[in-house]
Amino acid sequence: MFKKVIAIMTASVLAASILVGCGGSTGASSSAPAEQKTEEAAPAEAAEPAAAEAAAATDGDLATKKVGVCIYQFSDNFMTLFRTELEKYLIEKGFAKENITIVDGANDQATQSGQIDSFIADGVDVLIINLVNSSSASTVTDKVVGANIPLVYINREPAADEQQRWADNNWNVCYVGCDARQSGTYQGEIIGDLGLDAVDFNKNGKIDYIMIKGDPENVDAQYRTEFSIKALTDAGFEVNKLDEQVGMWDQVKGAELVANSLSQYGNDIEVVFCNNDAMALGALQSIQSAGRKVGTDIYLVGVDALTEVVEYVISGDITGTVFNDHFAQSHNAADAAINYITGAGNEHNIQCDYKKVTKDNAQEILDSLK
């Protein structure tokens, strides 16, 4: 609350001084050096470009810049790691803690859109947005670009045609993330590398599995679902999907769904694929309650490399996971924000790699998480 009051006060003082300095501009315009640097970039009502001023910005100036960060849902385990690291790194880079405002979209697009409106009204210098619904990207982009504020999307990748629009219009908008296809492929490979003999407990010649999906609107969920199985079929395995359920990235839902599947399909389930680790943790609870044992009569994989899960990979209670590098992603997002503020600009799509985590390298990964 106190922080918010200070932030609002700082904002109004800053806005007032800028209005004086610029000889008056639209109240909604960013207090930032507005650095949509191309002619086509800024819609008519945007603040006058100040590319030269932006380009001259130095690290020292970052202390006065305001960053608005929208997270789709604070209770998400992975996004908690992400936002914590993002704030830490922004501060390391020279932003003032009180100028970084991170808000919880509570998994509701209307709530998040209202938060974006408030950030625009407050004249933030850059927005970092983890959309609730990827399909809202074009509306959000139009709004933020219209206010002449640079925009870095994180974690939920907008569609290719939306990204094409940023490039076509040369807007200061980019996406920072990892290619979810790679994470799915790695999950499939972790299982495939065990070999059919080890996995095919019921000896029907197939890998019998259940799939617990994240939010289906999200490409991470779509690609992990598709590519984990594709990796197996590409490697020549026959697969048999016993069940596919939506767990919305959530541990409790994951536990519930896997408990149901286990009671329905029993020992026929050989592999439990979860689109993320939170759901894999839930799955593990249900597997254990059903008297099954990972590595002995069932296999379980997730994605993210949450500390707890990596520890379970070491102990053998979870077969494997895939490291979703929140360090690289949050640092890339902050660096992209800085590049916009300083006028350096960015590519429209900035990627990093996932990493496979099995018993072989789990300790190393665990050490790197500390």
β-sheet with 349-352: strand ranges across: 100-104, 67-71, 126-129, 151-154, 173-178, 349-352
Specify the 3-state DSSP secondary structure of 121: helix
> How far, in Å, are 99, 103, 176, 245, 325 from residue 85 at the CA level?
16, 15, 15, 31, 11
Q: For the window 195-214, what string marks contact with ligand GAL as x by the rule CB under 6 A?
A: -------------------x
Residue in 81, 120, 107, 13 with CA at minimum distance from that of residue 368? 81
Q: For the window 220-259, what string marks contact with ligand GAL as x by the rule CB under 6 A?
A: x----------------------------x----------
Helix-helix angle 180-192:219-234, to 10 degrees: 40
Beta strand pairing call for 299-301 and 349-352: unpaired
Using rule CB under 6 A, residue 342 touches ligand GAL:
no
Specify the 3-state DSSP secondary structure of 264: helix
Q: Which residue from 78, 153, 209, 223 is in contact with ligand GAL, where contact means CB under 6 A? A: 78
CB of 275 to ligand GAL, least distance (A): 7
CB of 108 to ligand GAL, least distance (A): 14
Sign of the four-CA dihedral 329, 93, 71, 150: negative
Using rule CB under 6 A, residue 187 touches ligand GAL:
no
Q: Which residue from 30, 155, 321, 358 is in contact with ligand GAL, where contact means CB under 6 A? A: 155
Using rule CB under 6 A, residue 304 touches ligand GAL:
yes
175 vs 249 by CB, closer to ligand GAL: 249
Two tokens, residue 92: 């390391």
Two tokens, residue 363: 């300790």
Using rule CB under 6 A, residue 189 touches ligand GAL:
no
Residue list 306-325, contact with ligand GAL (CB under 6 A)? 324
CB of 177 to ligand GAL, least distance (A): 8
Distance CA 350, CA 346 (A): 8
What DSSP character marks residue 155? S
Q: Please name every residue paired with 241 in a beta bridge, in sequence order, or none if there are none.
A: 209
220 vs 243 by CB, closer to ligand GAL: 220
Specify the 3-state DSSP secondary structure of 342: helix
249 vs 340 by CB, closer to ligand GAL: 249
Question: Looking at 55-63, 75-83, 164-172, 330-338, which segment touches ligand GAL (CB under 6 A)?
Answer: 75-83
54 vs 305 by CB, closer to ligand GAL: 305
Using rule CB under 6 A, residue 79 touches ligand GAL:
yes
62 vs 79 by CB, closer to ligand GAL: 79
> Phi-psi bin for 248: left (phi > 0), alpha (psi -120 to 50), beta?
left
Q: Please name every residue paired with 97 in a beta bridge, in sequence order, or none if there are none.
A: none
Q: Which residue from 37, 66, 156, 331 is in contact with ligand GAL, where contact means CB under 6 A? A: 156
Q: Which residues bind ligand GAL (CB under 6 A)?
A: 76, 78-79, 155-156, 214, 218, 220, 249, 276, 278, 303-304, 324
